Amino acid sequence: MTQEMQQATSHVRTFRRHEFLARADERQNCVLRIEEGWAAQYRLVPDGRRQIITLFLPGDYCEPQWLLQGRATLPIVALTRVRARALPHARIQARAPHEEDSMTRVLDAMLVLLRNREKWIFNLGRMTATERLCNLLCELYARLQARNRVVQDRCAMPLTQYDLADIVGISPVHVNRVLQTLRGDGLLDLKGRWMQVRDLAALQRLGDVATEPGPGMPRAA
């Protein structure tokens, strides 16, 4: 396959752990679809603090915005070894020649992103460490299940406790504490890159505390 043909069609790229899929403000002429491995979009403070904004799992598209802006906003790093397919913008646009159709697809993706972020603003702002972690683990479990990556009650869990900490906005030590408790209570087991969910219902109860507001006044107390 010639260089030109690779440009015109999609091609596969692989990244080692800690390698960048994209750097901040880098020009992008492709959208990446993760085929294997996990990646994360994050933001740093010079003093070392890191907050992961978005997690990308197998099957996910990294950043539909690229299509619109032609550039990444935040860096994306591989949390594990990653295999991803790079889809040139031109090719995506060509696939749906009817303008409106391809637009709709992008819009839907953005609505989903928007909803996810809504949820995480809520989590980070008003949930305890335990609630956030349970919520995250449930979400991951569900996302993997949707992609047929859950066997029995087990799924891959390649995130380190440092990664988890940087997602739920707490310290790694505290992540460990909470996980110990959850394990002790028989809710789940995190061992060697794998997660076994022993009591999904309980986990969801802990993590999904939010409800739609009733007819009352907000903060009427």
- List interacting residues with DNA (CB under 7 A): 128-130, 160-162, 169-174, 176-177, 179-180, 190-193
Task: State the minimum distance, in angstroms, from the CB of residue 199 to DNA.
Answer: 18
Q: At 56, give phi and psi (nearest 5°).
A: -115, 125
Return the amino acid letter for 144: L
Residue 111 contact, options its own copies, DNA, none, Cβ 5-8 Å cut-off depending on partner type: its own copies
122 touching its own copies, by CB under 8 A: yes
**Dihedral angle computed from the Cα positions of residues 148, 83, 190 and 170, in that order, rounded to the nearest 10 degrees:** -120
Residue 112 contact, options its own copies, DNA, none, Cβ 5-8 Å cut-off depending on partner type: none
Return the amino acid letter for 98: H
Residue 177 contact, options DNA, its own copies, none, Cβ 5-8 Å cut-off depending on partner type: DNA
Answer yes or no: are the C-beta atoms of 56 and 39 closer than 8 Å.
yes
Residue 190 contact, options its own copies, DNA, none, Cβ 5-8 Å cut-off depending on partner type: DNA
Judged by beta carbon, residue 174 or residue 198, the one nearer DNA is: 174
The C-alpha atoms of residue 180 and residue 186 are separated, in whole angstroms, by 10
Which tokens sit at 212?
Answer: 């739609």
